[in-house]
Amino acid sequence: MRLSTLAIGGTVTLLLALAGCGGGDGVSAGSVLNGSSAGSGSVVTSTPLSAVSADSPNSQDAYPSGVSACSGATLGTAVGPIQLSKSGVQTVGFSTSDLLANNSNTAEAFGLQPLNQGFAEVRVLHDTDTNISAVDLLLSQLKLFWDGNSERPRIIENFGLKRGRVQLGEQGMSTLVALPPQGDGFWNNNPLTFSGTQDHYANNHYFERSATSCDTQDAACVAAANNGLRLTTGNWRSGGFEPNQIVGTRLHEDGATQGPDQMPFAGFKGYRDLWNWSYRYAHVAGWVTKDTISIQEWGGGREHNKERRGTIAFGQLTDPSTVPASGSATYRGYARGWYSPDGQIEVYPIAADIEVTVDFSTRQVSLQLLNVRIDEVLPANLEPAAKLTIGSTNALPLGTLANTAIGAISHGGAAGYAGLRFFGPANGGGPAELAGSFSIKGITGISAIGGLIARRVAL
């Protein structure tokens, strides 16, 4: 399925603040897997990243005021390239051109290398009918070194429309403050000593932009458009499986020292994209950031661009104590992500249909990827020769926490891992929804990462 994009917009700008989030059932390091087996008999080693204590499960009270759903600010367990956060599961991919000894095309970043590195956090605000009006995307530990040596300040992206600085307050809220004027001591980078404060040159919006128009009677559309987001409503409320979709894009200038009034053009240092699919309880988001690194004004050497991308599933986690001990449930939905035919060339967007069957008695999850396809129309002469296998079926075990399943998977000539979690109340035969992430790579270099989301089939 290729979801269409609905043009939306508005004329009034409103920056909605989002608070930090730690809701849902906690993930204790090393406690997710039931034993050491996962997938088709493969052995998985869980690597504790940090101990995360359990909060009250399935409780929206755990979210600070102003946050409707989020992935959580703390990492728990890593299984291969799959990482569990407080109430999410994610995967990250690096551009392969980063690893080349000499990339002659410094303006571009290309290829895809799935890695267990970096951390993404997503926070959303939605109304009582789950229409999203604001998003915060926080990215860190992605090896984006402005000076060639140390990590840049954390990315705080809300895809806003107005000029200003985006910051997190004491409660982790995204707010917009005015940019200091040109010549202010705030802009303290010295091009000879590189002694500036990098945080002052991160997360600044130097260029305003207008939102596209939408029906002023559509409150959900207007709320999203006022934050630079585009909203497409799915048919899941009427019994279908299409999720709602939010899309956001912003050109950025992070790391540029010409600011604020001498910036040559929007996107001088890169861009960011976000899509988020959601039902009532579950979300899955995909993000891309392109950034200039080794910037000369920060003491770097040869400037070039890097690209990072990833997916993250999150939402209102199912209380594991309420997951049935018997019976079964079937879920249907969709997957979305990216693949590179050999891991070296630029990625292609991919989509798939999914069907998940859960046997609560045997604690096994059957994950089917169906009709895997390139999610864009290409001329015949531009079709890549190497494509992903059209479908696969893999078994994942439910872990000690019965709202989580992670395991090894194979997909044609590629192999890797997938993880999913259940969201919403577990009544009427099982949790209402699920979402997850997957990461695979083949010996030929073909690689893919993606996210998935599904709803339980009505009995």
How much is the pLDDT for 45? 35
pLDDT-based confidence at 175, cuts 50/70/90? Answer: confident
Whether 402 shows a pLDDT value over 60: the answer reads yes
pLDDT at 241 over 90: yes
Q: Which two tokens stand for residue 146?
A: 């402005």
Q: pLDDT by residue (tens digit) across 98-135?
A: 756 566 677 788 899 999 889 999 999 898 889 999 89
Pairwise pLDDT comparison (54 vs 28), residue with the higher score: 28
Closest C-alpha to 57, from 72, 46, 36, 67: 72
Query: Which is more confidently placed, 407 or 259?
Result: 407
Q: Please give the full DSSP string across 243-282, using - where no structure is assigned.
A: PEEEEEEEEE-TT-SSTTT---STTTTEEEEEEEEE-SSE
Q: Residue 58 pLDDT more than 90? A: no
Confidence of residue 65 (pLDDT cuts 50, 70, 90): low
Average pLDDT in the 436-459 region?
Answer: 95
Query: Cis omega (within 30 of 0) on the bond before 260?
Result: yes
What is the predicted pLDDT for the residue at 51? 29
Non-local CB neighbours of 160 within 8 Å, separated by 6+ positions: 13, 15, 166, 176, 205, 227, 228, 250
Residue 12 has pLDDT above 70, yes or no: no
DSSP helix/strand/coil, 417: strand
Q: Which amino acid is at 98?
A: D
Region of poorest pLDDT, from 170-174, 240-244, 394-398: 170-174
Region 159-179: mean pLDDT is: 84
pLDDT of 9 higher than 50: no
The pLDDT > 70 percentage for the chain reads: 83
pTM of the model: 0.89
pLDDT tens readout for residues 176-233: 999 999 999 999 998 888 889 999 999 999 999 888 788 878 888 898 998 899 999 9
What pLDDT is attached to residue 192? 85
Closest CA to 127 of 218, 59, 220: 220
pLDDT tens digits, one per residue of 311-356: 999 999 999 999 999 999 999 999 999 999 999 988 999 999 999 9
